[in-house]
Amino acid sequence: MLKAVIVDDEPKAIQILSWELSSFKEDIEVIQTFNDADEAIRFINSNEFDCLFLDIEMPTIDGFQLLQQIDAQDFAIVITTAYNEYAIKALKSQAIDYLLKPIDSDDLADTITRVKKYFHKNSSKNKFDKILHSFNEKFDRRKITINTDGKLIFLEEGEILYVESDGNYCSIHTSSQKKIVVTKKLKEVNLLLPQDHFFRIHNSFIINLNKIKEFLKSDGYVILEGNYKIPVSRQKKADFLDKF
């Protein structure tokens, strides 16, 4: 069951889309709706779900500006708009589909199929990662095994400083200033890392707890070895402090 969030400044549009989605209740469930962009941003940055139906034409903050304020996009994005001119820009924003208003039932069915395939593909891709995680846990906790670019990379725990999200990609930053790019979301990489030494301190960052030099409480940042400055999200601060 996919969990969906709808963001649209028009309550009537939310009502119509929610009603249309109720026809696919075995596949998708609307868990929250918003007609206020700021409220939507706060919810998205602190909750997990699978699909965001996002209107583009909204007052104050449009849909694309909203996406720029999201810490990490660990969900499928479907753009909803009355203007066909936004289609290309929607695809460039990593949206997997777009729906023209008024939304056609057949188009919505195709979109839900596309979202399901998107998650099935990612789920299949992660099966091997789970095997690697089991290997890491069972045989050698000092080694982190990363599957990327058609090869396996074996890293010592101490080599990894932090991991940074970039949408559907992540960059692993090492103490040798090497950056390893992997085609995985941050939550997928997090599964491969030992939870006693690594912590997701922000929706866009995982840090090696053994590499912390300073915690700037008033600014909300940690300083890692190499003087890397990483933000601590408000939602993660209490859990972070419990690590010490």
Point out which residues pair with 221 in neighbouring strands: 216, 231
- State the pTM of this model: 0.55
Whether 188 and 196 have beta carbons less than 8 Å apart is answered as no
pLDDT at 127: 46
Same fold, 2-122 and 141-241: no
pLDDT at 243: 78
Q: Among 201, 209, 241, 205, which Cα is nearest to 225's?
A: 209
CA triple 170-158-179, angle to 5 deg: 30
Whether 43 and 5 have beta carbons less than 8 Å apart is answered as yes
Q: Which residues, including other chains, have CB under 8 Å from residue 13's CB and lie 6 or more apart?
A: 55, 80, 101
Question: Residue ranges of the domains in the chain?
Answer: 2-122, 141-241
CATH topology assigned to domain 2-122? Rossmann fold (3.40.50)
Whether 141 and 157 have beta carbons less than 8 Å apart is answered as yes
pLDDT at 209: 93
Ranges of the chain whose pLDDT falls below 70: 72-73, 86-94, 120-143, 150
pLDDT at 135: 47
Amino acid (1-letter code) at residue 131: I
pLDDT at 89: 63
CA dist 50 to 36, 71, 73, 77, 200, Å? 20, 15, 10, 9, 19
Domain 141-241 has CATH 2.40.50.1020: yes
Q: Among 121, 108, 74, 79, which Cα is nearest to 96's?
A: 79
Q: Among 75, 100, 74, which Cα is nearest to 87's?
A: 100
pLDDT at 76: 87
pLDDT in tens, 136-191: 554 444 567 777 776 778 888 889 999 998 877 899 999 888 889 988 888 888 88
